[in-house]
Chain A
Amino acid sequence: MDILNIKDLDVKTETNEMVLHDLSLSIQKGTIVYLLGPNGSGKSTLSKAIMGFENFKISGGSIYFENLDISNLELSQRARLGIFLAFQNPVEIPGVSYRNFLRLAYNNIHSKGQQISVMTFRKLLLEKSKMFNISQELLDKNLNENLSGGEKKKMEVLQMAILKPKLAILDEVDSGLDIDATKEVYKGLLQYIKFNPNTTLIIITHSLTPFSYLKPDNIFIMRKGQITRMGKQELVEEITKNGFNGL
């Protein structure tokens, strides 16, 4: 089954600039997909359009999530359907404790009327944070307040592990991380996928590291707001040799 089906998508910014043009792709449920391309090719824009950011308007085409047309749904509605975006630049929200925020988000998506208890949630957090080697001190902090760039990125994948989305888009989740932290993130992701094999992942990255942990079922190359190539592992070798320009 296709979890995501995008047909002839045109996306404009608030100032009417066309940023995605005639874009089509489909992604099968439970697959790991890579979205690659040079800076400014529209990868983040596509992820924001899927998520439903207000400053991008769909001027043509449509986005189907599990055969439901989500083009007119609000951001938070799409999140509650099971779409997750790990932000390229995670936002700081002072004074809001991570634990409270995560429990609130979890209850919104998973509770079905019965709210999870503080204790049970604490255990869940502990379990998931171990997966990514995140210390308890980090969990006691406020939402991204005074965290380093790398710490913020790790917390993004932790949020994904807690919220258990059907489709997770990871926008450069490894940028700004040192080698060890990068490994921890992808090791954790690999483990998460093992336990949640129905999760569909879209990975946006400039690094080669993820490929050794999470084998691609599909790779999409983007350029100037359009998808220009599709392929599998062999594309990686090609890009490594000749860069994006060589494609």
Chain B
Amino acid sequence: MKKIILDFSKPIENIKVTENTVIYGLFIDVAHLTCQNSPCIVFSKNNISLDINVKAVINANCVFDFSPILKVSTKQKGIVANLRINVLNNSSNSIIKSTPAMEIKQPDVSVSHSLAISSFDKNQLTYLCSRCLNKKEAEQILINSFISDIMKATKN
């Protein structure tokens, strides 16, 4: 199983998947950053599985655009791909965009993606605050929880 860790500090290049692969990406923004990426993801063999897990925490005044396009041509059979993009929006002045696109020409395929862009869960915030944490502390805990799976997987 190949592991790729995306580096958002540089433009993300197109990805050619040659074996079962897991891709992680974590973007934690600092103010005024612009991060725009539309990598093209293709496959070079049959029967490959691909799992992409990207998370972003948007803090202030940034432009974040992660729009990968996944392509499966007629020749590649047995591709199983899953893409997850999760953005925690902690900013009132940012622009967050994502177009997770797909172009599929082969039926013997199982491709799915999911995307979520939202701010902190009110219930979770309330719960933490009811345990005497202030808003900032509660938010920090939630941010840590949000990114924990990627941190673990990338041992960063």
Asked if the two chains touch in their complex, CB atoms less than 8 Å apart, one says no
Listed in ascending order, the chain B residues whose CB lies under 8 Å from chain A are none
Question: Could you tell me which A residues sit within 8 Å of B by CB distance?
Answer: none
